[in-house]
């Protein structure tokens, strides 16, 4: 006697969220540097961005506010989290220059240590992200 087949779970749709203290400045930074485009504004303090192959929910959240009862206060000084954005780009040097011009920082550059150049960066609000360039030509 065979057991009934389990219904397979569908794969979820994954979106990323970025908290910023000033929504308009966040939209300007990510729009200027990466071309992310606002596609909707469900409410005043939240914008939905088209980031090409991913949706980004950008939230205006004041420093000091908590994400949950157990969570610590939001801090917008420089921080890093193991879960972060890796943004793959064609023009590595051009994007790094845009990060700088838009008020972000480039903390480390790895040009020849792996198969692709990588820049460890931060937006003007302290959120860390990586810029990943095209594979090295052989």
The structural domains of the chain, ordered by start, are 15-62+78-132 (3.10.180.10)
Query: d(Cα 80, Cα 95) in Å, to the nearest integer?
Result: 20
- Tell me what pLDDT residue 90 has: 96
pLDDT by residue (tens digit) across 23-56?
A: 999 999 999 999 999 999 999 999 999 999 999 9
Given pLDDT bands bounded at 50, 70 and 90, which one contains residue 67? Answer: confident
73-89 mean pLDDT: 89
Within 8 A by CB and 6+ apart from 17, the residues are 56, 57, 58, 59
pLDDT by residue (tens digit) across 109-137?
A: 999 888 999 999 999 999 999 999 999 88
CB atoms within 10 A of CB 129: 20
Model confidence, pTM: 0.87
């Amino acid at each position: 006697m065979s057991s009934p087949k389990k219904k397979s779970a569908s794969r979820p749709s994954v979106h990323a969220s970025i908290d910023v203290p000033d929504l308009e400045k966040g939209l300007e930074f990510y729009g200027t540097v990466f071309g992310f485009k606002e596609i909707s504004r469900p409410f005043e303090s939240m914008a939905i961005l088209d980031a090409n192959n991913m949706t980004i929910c950008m939230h205006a959240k004041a420093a000091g506010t908590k994400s949950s009862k157990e969570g610590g206060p939001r801090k917008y000084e420089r921080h890093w989290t193991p879960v972060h954005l890796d943004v793959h780009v064609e023009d590595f040097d051009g994007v790094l220059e845009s990060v700088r011009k838009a008020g972000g920082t480039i903390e480390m550059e790895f040009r020849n240590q792996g198969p692709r150049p990588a820049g460890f960066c931060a937006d003007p609000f302290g959120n860390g992200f990586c810029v990943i360039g095209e594979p090295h030509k052989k």
